[in-house]
Amino acid sequence: MADYSDPLRRAALNETIQICTEILRTPGHPLLGTAVGTLCRLVTVDESVIVGFLDEAGRTAAPEALYALSEFLWREEKSVGGKDWFWPLVLHLTSAKTEHKGILDNADMMLMGWVRDPVKGPRVLEFINVWISRQPSGTFDDGGLETSFSSTVHRIAEQPGVLSHALTGWLLHDDSRYPLIARKLVSRLRTEGVTSLEMDITIIDELTQNEIRFLLHRILGYIVGDEVQIHLVFSLARARDAKNRTFGFVASVLQDQVGYDYPYQTIEYLKERLTAENETEEVKGLCSKIATELQERLDALDALPDLKEFHPSSLKMRRFSKERHRQMNVAMDEASKDSIWRQLTTHIPLKAGRRTFQTINGQYTDPM
In contact, 195 and 234? CB cutoff 8 Å: no
CA nearest neighbour of 218 among 251, 249, 255, 260:
249
Per-residue pLDDT tens digits of the chain, which is 368 residues long: 444 556 677 788 889 999 999 999 999 999 999 999 999 999 988 888 899 999 999 999 999 999 999 999 999 999 999 999 999 999 999 999 999 999 999 999 999 999 999 999 999 999 999 999 999 888 888 777 888 999 999 999 999 999 999 999 999 999 999 999 999 999 888 888 888 899 999 999 999 999 999 999 999 999 988 999 999 999 999 999 999 999 999 999 999 999 999 999 999 999 999 999 989 999 999 999 999 999 999 999 999 888 888 888 889 889 988 988 888 887 777 766 666 666 677 766 666 566 666 767 777 777 66
- Give the dihedral sign, CA 350/353/354/359: negative
CA nearest neighbour of 207 among 248, 254, 242, 234:
242
In contact, 63 and 100? CB cutoff 8 Å: yes
